[in-house]
Amino acid sequence: MKKTTIGGLGLGLALSLSLAGCAGQTAPTADSIEVGPATGTLSYESWTPTEATFDTIIEGFTAENPDVELTGTLAPLEDYQTSLQTQLRSGSGPDVFVVSPGAMYNQYREYFEPLDAYAEAFDGEDWADIFNQDALDRAQTDGATFGLPVGYGVAGFLWVNKTLLAEAGVEVPTTYDELVAASEELKAAGIQPIALGGKDAWMNIDYFLAIAASIDKDALYAALEGEGEWTDPALVEAFEIWSGLFTDGVVQDGAIGAATYSDTYDLFTEGKAAFFANGSWNLDMYVNSLDRIAAYDIDAIAMPLPGVDGGAPITGDVSGIVVVNKASKNKGAAYQLASYMSRGEGAQVLLDAFLDFPVTNDGKTPTTAPEESQTARASIETLIETKLAGYRQVPLASVSEALSAALAGVATGDVTGEEAAQRVQDAADNG
């Protein structure tokens, strides 16, 4: 049986379970877990995937487990987070839900069921070997596994429309000076340079992390982990280079007020901008906007930056982490759904829907990717192999919020690099 609902999430959802019933229970061992097809009722909530894609997940999972009744509720991310927080704090909530790595994972981890015993029971002692370890690490804390990763994407590079560049007589830039010069020529030809959705905090953070990693990756990740200072000279310099993207005119006018979806997405797919700041998930434009971009030669390149040979590094992370609610009364079935979506046939459904990169080592690739996407996808794979600096999600929500505000202030010229760094450090110090 399948049922997916879309919209705001109420509190009177199926399987609102009390944590009190779990109090005092000892953690299961692999030997104590009953292995077999999933049965009973099972609920899932998230902001992702789409209704149509999750209906396909339900159909596949219930075909493998005909005695389970799986329902799904999807809502916009902010609505989902608000409702999820309320439910979990009251000891209820869905059996299975999704969190982002980093801040969201850390915020809700106390509500996650540890999954190592379930994984060993259902998938064997070597269950972890199928996963890319970097992806699995994002769902682990202190050696324990609290969820299973789904999808992998990278950010911090530039999409480039080579057709527009050629028509304007501009070479693909490989240095920052070349990027500045190219931007001037493009504007003179009526073409925007980098289309950057600076209204989106996540977008600004993605490109700041790439800039910072190009200067001193160790300093960046030490600060992210709370082991270093955001006032490190390398990170102050990163804020100043971020400012330069705006003062040097390599991003479109009004970038800080533009949204990625759909302001800058439309600029790029409609052939009005030569470059686009967005991550690998933008491969879905070959599905959703192929009619717009089919005539263009589009590729992906490392972002040229001052003093960086070969362009900036990139950052990457899993798209989500599927977790089992600690309060669930059907944890075995819940684990099976998480596994189905992360490493089973459901993972293939998600890859085909989002054109992500796999989190497993079994060679899964999208089966529906249009031929036109292959050049860019191959370039992104090369960037992953040669340019990956580390993860892209900021671990602490307070630091992420402060970094977002600081980057916006620097972009508008209201905040200096030193002031921005100090504001983020203040947030880190205050937790």
What is the model's pLDDT at position 27? 78
Cα–Cα distance for residue pair 424/228, rounded to 1 Å: 12
pLDDT reported for residue 24: 43
Q: Residues 6 or more apart from 65 whose CB is under 8 A from it?
A: 37, 38, 39, 333, 336
Residue 12 token pair? 């009177």
Q: Which domains does the chain have, with CATH numbers?
A: 2-151+319-354 (3.40.190.10), 157-311+375-429 (3.40.190.10)
Taking a C-beta distance cutoff of 8 angstroms, is the pair 249, 193 a contact? yes
CA separation for the pair 204, 313 (Å, rounded): 15
- Mean pLDDT for each consecutive 10-residue tract of the chain (431 residues)? 40 32 64 96 96 97 98 94 96 97 96 98 97 96 97 97 98 98 98 97 97 98 98 98 98 97 97 98 93 97 96 97 98 98 97 93 89 96 96 96 98 98 98 82
Partner residues linked to 176 by β-bridges: none
Q: How far apart are CA 45 and CA 125, in angstroms?
A: 29
- DSSP H helices in 98-257: 103-108, 116-123, 133-137, 162-167, 176-188, 201-224, 233-247
On whether the CB atoms of residues 65 and 37 are closer than 8 A, the answer is yes
**According to the model, what pLDDT value does residue 369 have?**
86
Does a cis peptide bond (omega within 30 degrees of 0) precede residue 46? no
* Rounded Cα distance, 336 and 273, in Å: 45
- Residue 184 corresponds to which tokens in the numbers above? 């001037």
From the list 269, 287, 301, 296, the residue with the least C-alpha distance to 378 is 301
pLDDT for 25: 55
